[in-house]
Amino acid sequence: MRRWAPAADHPARPGLRRAGRSARHRPERDADLRRRPREGAEGLDDLSAVDRVAADALALCAIAAPTGAEEERARAVAERLAEAGAAPARDAAGNVVARFGPDDGPAAIVAAHLDTVFPADTPLEPRRSPGALHGPGIGDDCLGLAALAHVARRLAAGPAPAHPVVLAATVGEEGLGDLRGARALLDACACDAFVALEGHGRDTLQTAGIGSARLRARFTGPGGHSWGDRGAPSAVHALLAAGARAIAAAGGAHVNVGVVGGGTSVNTIAAEAAAEIDLRDADDAALEATRDRVVAALRAATPTGIELVIEPLGRRPAGSTPPAHPLVQAARAARRAAGLPPAEENASSTDANAALGRGLPAICLGLTHGADAHRPDEYVELEPLGPGLAALEALIDALGRGLPQER
């Protein structure tokens, strides 16, 4: 596999000049020129680690970053990583990447995602209340991004890790991003352990990735006047009938028709309609079978005179990391070291899926408790964040030492 090779800094992104000035992290030079004493990084503005991470999360949350338009938030993350003493660079996909430790060899990748599910015009007024942070995307995944900066400060202040650690802020994790950023990262960077960070879910350890298959069903027909052309086939009617058949055909497997649209006026036979459908399963073969059933049902229920085109929108592979794998054991040990009880181990759908789909060990960690992700009133709690960060620090230390070989 190729090593990660950062793209040259984009000349049209002046804000990134400082962050992207170095193609590769060089610990010795950093020690001379850029390393700040740890107490300096945190003591300058007199903030505790939790306060610092909270302030970063709020600042990042105030920057819109819908999937596909993560640029401004990426720049802000790169600035924070550079201030932390890292040498972040941007890759061609738009990810922000900072490597610590040896230049050669597979790295432990720790990733948080830049993008949110919220459209660019969503009002963003993140705020701190006593004990909590509020804002769309504050936990999913601004807190994860802020934690990357926290980890970068520790890594830059300490001796360089013996085993390479790559911190990455990824594009394209949500919605139709299809893990574009994580895939590009793994294409470019040899990886032997992958950790996705999320703000929510501190007491769950996700060791398996739920696979998903997403498709758009587009119906087109002749259209016409609702009365004058009565009897002509309607794209909306076809969508309703075929959509209902598709839901039934999933047969208990997860199916969500998340978006529908079509038609132009109440008295016009619809010439166009479309639905976006999300299918999920922990088992890839079962997922394929569900997709085949759903596609067959859509086709069978589409009436004569209506054309149906089915476009794939994305495919996240399923996979899992065995409970006895050193990465899972290191995550459990890190929780113990932070005084946290054993986590519930389960499955989710995150950037970790991109690694799991390649047979790489991968987990997803949460940093604190919160609720209402993917809603404008999302919040995360501050009190559980301290131990969450402590567990993350212990895990990063273990990754930097190098996990014991499996088998």
Q: Which is nearer to Zn ion, 156 or 364 (CB)?
A: 364
> Is 140 among the residues that bind Zn ion (CB under 5 A)?
yes
Q: Which residue do the tokens 């990262």 mark?
A: 185
Q: Which is nearer to Zn ion, 42 or 140 (CB)?
A: 140
- Pick the piece of the chain touching Zn ion (CB under 5 A) from 89-97, 136-144, 157-165, 300-308: 136-144
User: Is the distance from CB of 366 to CB of 198 less than 8 angstroms?
Assistant: yes
| Smallest distance from Zn ion to CB 65, Å | 12
- Pick the piece of the chain touching Zn ion (CB under 5 A) from 22-30, 123-131, 138-146, 339-347: 138-146
The pattern of x and - marking residues 88 through 127 that bind Zn ion according to CB under 5 A reads ----------------------------------------
Residues binding Zn ion: what is the number (CB under 5 A)? 2
> Is 42 among the residues that bind Zn ion (CB under 5 A)?
no
Q: Which of 56, 70, 141, 278 binds Zn ion (CB under 5 A)?
A: 141
Count Cβ atoms within 10 A of the Cβ of residue 223 and give its class: 0-12 exposed, 13-18 middle, 19 or more buried.
middle
What does each C-alpha distance from 185 to 23, 144, 220 come to in angstroms? 15, 17, 38
- Rounded to the nearest 10 degrees, what angle do helices 235-250 and 284-300 cross at? 150
> What secondary structure does DSSP assign to 294-330, as a single string?
HHHHHHHTSPTT-EEEEEEEEEEPPEE--TTSHHHHH
| Smallest distance from Zn ion to CB 369, Å | 15
| Smallest distance from Zn ion to CB 28, Å | 36
Q: Which is nearer to Zn ion, 220 or 350 (CB)?
A: 350
**CA 370 to CA 387: how far, in whole Å?**
15
| Smallest distance from Zn ion to CB 353, Å | 12
Q: Which is nearer to Zn ion, 84 or 179 (CB)?
A: 179
Q: Which residue is nearest to Zn ion (CB)?
A: 140
Q: Which is nearer to Zn ion, 145 or 151 (CB)?
A: 145
Report the DSSP beta bridge partners of residue 111.
168, 196
Q: Would you call the peptide bond into 115 cis, given omega within 30 degrees of 0 as the criterion?
A: no
| Smallest distance from Zn ion to CB 343, Å | 17
Q: Which is nearer to Zn ion, 140 or 276 (CB)?
A: 140
| Smallest distance from Zn ion to CB 401, Å | 28
Q: Which is nearer to Zn ion, 150 or 291 (CB)?
A: 150
What does each C-alpha distance from 197 to 45, 111, 144, 151, 171 come to in angstroms? 26, 6, 5, 12, 14
| Smallest distance from Zn ion to CB 374, Å | 9
**CA 311 to CA 21: how far, in whole Å?**
41
List helix spans (H) across 62-215.
71-84, 143-157, 180-188
Q: Give Dmax over CA atoms of the chain in angstroms.
A: 81
| Smallest distance from Zn ion to CB 380, Å | 12
Task: Calculate Rg over the CA atoms of the chain.
Answer: 23
Q: Which is nearer to Zn ion, 29 or 374 (CB)?
A: 374
- DSSP one-letter code for 350: S
Q: Which is nearer to Zn ion, 171 or 238 (CB)?
A: 171
| Smallest distance from Zn ion to CB 150, Å | 18
> Is 378 among the residues that bind Zn ion (CB under 5 A)?
no
User: Is the distance from CB of 193 to CB of 236 less than 8 angstroms?
Assistant: no
Which strand (E) or helix (H) includes residue 98?
strand 96-100
- Pick the piece of the chain touching Zn ion (CB under 5 A) from 26-34, 86-94, 135-143, 312-320: 135-143
Mapping DSSP to helix (H, G, I), strand (E, B) and coil, where does residue 19 land? coil
Question: Residue 69 corresponds to which tokens in the numbers above?
Answer: 């338009």
Binding residues for Zn ion, rule: CB under 5 A, are 140-141
